[in-house]
Structure 1
């Protein structure tokens, strides 16, 4: 006979009342911290990326978690935060410069396309063969370039007006990162115990999520940064204007499977050929195909392994979807949600198959 007695109506009502209050308190807490969710999220990303260093330092410092967290935070500040801020402001500055150059007709996208078409006649011929009106294409690309550069200019003005809030958010992110690095293991343990699941299911779910999310964050971010840096470096060496702007664009495009950063450097090489700069164009093609093109194939297996990363198509759609909904934060949040989705369904599939 079972020792579990049925619950009385009073116990059921108490449990439901407690769950209702718990839901209300949790919702109120979320609303309170919602204005700072971006700082909280990036603090979590920071602690996730530098958690291996934190663990090694704790071992070397004989369990002094606070000192290890401080050293890890300073390391992350030097290696990641300061360079990213410098790149961000440089990106916006060059974007504003591009907008001003297009507005003042110093840069004419339509004239550039016409020059490429005259230098490489096969391109207009192919377009006509596929029924593409080159005159409309020139107008469309010109308008798109103006719209994009205007958007960058508006973002720069917005960032300038919100310098105080940006600084406050950065300070809160670093402050929270310290405590997440120091107390991360106990926080994760508390979260695991709070889940209404069996221990085996919690263990399986957390292991899968940590494995896939760490592979996604580390793989996507590091590979994107490396490809963007390599592309920006060769653009700077070749004297191509707005090298930092193109580097950031190549970093984002590195998420596109198969083509990625080549969506930037191939058209640029075509333009250099069209303008008669054959030496620079040849260098860019060789460098792009060998160095930039192989960076993903070489780095990603080393960083995350081949079995743990998300499929390329899922990374692409989840990233673009995340950016469209959440802005720049969606660059990381989108793939993390996809990782969580796969983790839950993989856990369900394993349990369902084992029980059948």
Structure 2
């Protein structure tokens, strides 16, 4: 018995080591497949073929979601690389600090002194802080390199999700068999429905709303000529998942429009209104997408997103929020003696 168990553990560890580099990608592809599967079934009913419907959804996702995400996130890398090269070439212009900064208690005077020296003798300041600046530059450049890998995983995950959806019915049967094996035949179907409903609730009501908001903010900032568009996109995405008002990300963009922009008064007014609407669009999107099925408390979503981002980058932020929400729901179902909450589910949402 112990020999069999030991061999099983060794095999499991060996298989995990092989699969680990693809774990985040496959989990996000599975989340996409489960979320989009009802739409794929309706589309397949119209087109007559499962693989054709999955292909159409994948192409639409790559065009509407992946392409803007790659563009906005790539701009972050370009901004970081440009900043690092400007610092190395001593071409950065630092304005004079405001006098009122010196009056800020505790830290105001220290910041004022460093800022003042940066505006008058930036090369000397860089030379005095060379070890720290060198480490920061290396970290920033490694961040740019890792973002490229995350973007590639993000694109590939859409393609893998399409393959999974093409075999959706078989996948649903296998999922039910696994759940029956783990939780028993009496509770296996409840576990599958609970996990499916949680994935769709988080993906549509939290990640979906945050993603749409971030895309709106990014597109408007790009059209308005705001620099570092990718930074506003990522900040808006993080704030949206954390359920913090996204207007905190659009406010600096609005300030830049009026202080540094050259779009004229009419253009600034139009872009300001557009950014305000984008920052508050969750008030319209949440009633449409949130609350379908079951949802986890927002602290669980936030911790999952932040932990996933630290552990696996931007893609891990999406996977972490969904995975921790599933874990929370399964744990609470176990606390309630295994009685999973009743999930309102349409026939088309099964699978």
Identify whether the pair has TM-score above 0.5, normalized to the shorter chain. yes
Gaps of 5+ in 2: 119-128, 341-351
TM-score by length of 2: 0.73
Q: CA RMSD in A?
A: 4.0
How many Å separate the matches in 2 of 1:244 and 1:340?
30
Query: What is the correspondence of 1:156-175 to structure 2 with a 5 Å cutoff?
Result: 156-157=144-145, 173=157
Instruction: Give the length in aligned residue pairs.
Output: 322
Superposed displacement of residue 152, structure 1 = 4.2
Query: What is the correspondence of 1:332-347 to structure 2 with a 5 Å cutoff?
Result: 332-347=318-333
Give 2:78's match in structure 1, choosing from 71, 93, 112. Answer: 93
Which residue of the partner structure matches residue 8 of structure 1? none
Query: Is this contact kept in 1: 2:62–2:155, CA < 8 A?
Result: no
Which residue of the partner structure matches residue 133 of structure 1? 108
How many Å separate the matches in 1 of 2:315 and 2:323?
12
Which residue of the partner structure matches residue 7 of structure 1? none
| Equivalent position SS for 1:254 | helix
Are the structure 2 counterparts of residues 296 and 159 from structure 1 closer, same or farther at C-alpha, using a change threshold of 3 Å? closer
Q: Deviations over 1:265-308 (max 9, x none)?
A: 334545666669995877666544x4133212221221132773
Which residue of the partner structure matches residue 73 of structure 1? 58
Superposed displacement of residue 124, structure 1 = 6.8
Which residue of the partner structure matches residue 306 of structure 2? 320
Which residue of the partner structure matches residue 187 of structure 2? 201
Query: Is this contact kept in 1: 2:76–2:229, CA < 8 A?
Result: no
**Do structure 1's residue 265 and structure 2's residue 240 form an aligned pair?**
no
Superposed displacement of residue 344, structure 1 = 1.3
Q: Which has the larger radius of gyration?
A: 1
Are the structure 2 counterparts of residues 238 and 220 from structure 1 closer, same or farther at C-alpha, using a change threshold of 3 Å? same
Which residue of the partner structure matches residue 29 of structure 2? 43
Superposed displacement of residue 233, structure 1 = 3.5
Gaps of 5+ in 1: 1-12
Which residue of the partner structure matches residue 215 of structure 2? 229
Which residue of the partner structure matches residue 295 of structure 2? 309
Query: Is this contact kept in 2: 1:103–1:146, CA < 8 A?
Result: no
Query: Is this contact kept in 1: 2:24–2:312, CA < 8 A?
Result: no
TM-score by length of 1: 0.72
